[in-house]
Structure 1
């Protein structure tokens, strides 16, 4: 069984879809179901559609009734509830589309939800500008030369050292309230990051205008 899942949530619709064959499960929240229909996504590929259905009645597509999972808990977001279903099925990686755009409080909320799951499952967000995810205390990424790289502390990182970036760090500290590491770019094919304490988001964008 493939151990990677694909999840669509209710941000900006993706401009294109990844290869669906690499995923063992494909799901969406009820809000994302709207744009998937409009984009002519093959809805028969969906394993489930979950949510409180405040943005979708669940009644206008009877053929998909058996795929609707009603999750009415108002103390959790639809993203969080979908992740609970996915991790409950044993998946260890989730690629998320539609995590950004739209109302920015949703975007911040999605990052906070991902933070809560970071020790349980690998979550990677993809949008029109970048991919982004929490990284471990020792991390290496390859084939990255010329791409924008932003390092964002959540909320702080201590003793961070980077290699392969235009503006490197050596035993530095990052914090939401003082210094963050955004808008850097890779000058080598391989970038490494090590830090001792805290939690860190990496954003990997398109080719940098600086090169």
Structure 2
């Protein structure tokens, strides 16, 4: 697998801040997000999707176009498959949240399906979030609001560096979740024994 990082733009809420694109080896986008990228003078390397949002004639000839018409999968999931097939495993995703919330939930579901194959970090105008492993350390988070979201059940959770620590506890999406905690150290350690967990770090 290629350790170089790529970036993927989706057709959710338009990012207020665009990261330094020079740190990414390749820029991917779905057809729906190309409209705002063009306004920002950002030319992707690859555009994928069913192209119901734009016409292919609008795209520069030196941009790779990959039609993905299969309606059994979302544009996000199809883009992740392309990134994986291209040999990359680290991807930052912008535009996954906002606007239609069913799309946002669908994007989380797609990321969950790929979490053992790709390292996916979401960024929006308010936070970054990603699935964490059973032993994770968050760095440079002093004073930030941190939410732990079980997906859908996480058992044996222990944390260090949070205002409200957990000690071998269980979080469940149907019972108790761990939103709106705060980092009291610059490093926060999270471990758990069973299940899956999303971590949100607010800006």
Tell me the TM-score normalised to structure 1 length.
0.92
The total of aligned residue pairs comes to 202
Spell out structure 1 runs of 4+ moving beyond 6 A: none
Q: What residue is the counterpart of 2:31 in the other structure?
A: 30
2:57 is aligned, of 39, 44, 59, to: 59
Structure 1's unaligned 5+ residue stretches are 207-211
Alignment RMSD (CA, Å): 1.2
Cα displacement (A) at 1:65:
6.9
* Cα separation, partners in 2 of 1:51 and 1:65, compared to 1, 3 Å: farther
Q: What residue is the counterpart of 1:18 in the other structure?
A: 19
Structure 2's unaligned 5+ residue stretches are none
* Cα separation, partners in 2 of 1:65 and 1:150, compared to 1, 3 Å: same
CA distance in structure 2 between the aligned counterparts of 1:202 and 1:12, rounded to whole angstroms = 20
CA distance in structure 2 between the aligned counterparts of 1:86 and 1:202, rounded to whole angstroms = 23
* Cα separation, partners in 2 of 1:65 and 1:47, compared to 1, 3 Å: closer
Contact 2:47/2:63 (<8 A) preserved = no
- 1:38-83: per-residue Cα shift (whole Å, max 9, x none)? 2222x1xx2110001122222233x337521100000001111111
CA distance in structure 2 between the aligned counterparts of 1:64 and 1:163, rounded to whole angstroms = 52
1:158 maps onto 2:155 in alignment: yes
CA distance in structure 2 between the aligned counterparts of 1:142 and 1:175, rounded to whole angstroms = 25
- 1:127-146: per-residue Cα shift (whole Å, max 9, x none)? 11100000000000111100
Cα displacement (A) at 1:21:
1.5
Q: What residue is the counterpart of 1:48 in the other structure?
A: 46
Q: What residue is the counterpart of 1:196 in the other structure?
A: 193
Cα displacement (A) at 1:2:
5.8
Contact 1:58/1:65 (<8 A) preserved = no
1:187 is aligned, of 173, 184, 189, to: 184
Tell me the TM-score normalised to structure 2 length.
0.96
CA distance in structure 2 between the aligned counterparts of 1:126 and 1:116, rounded to whole angstroms = 19
What secondary structure, in the 3-state scheme, does the structure 1 residue paired with 2:58 have? coil
Cα displacement (A) at 1:90:
1.1
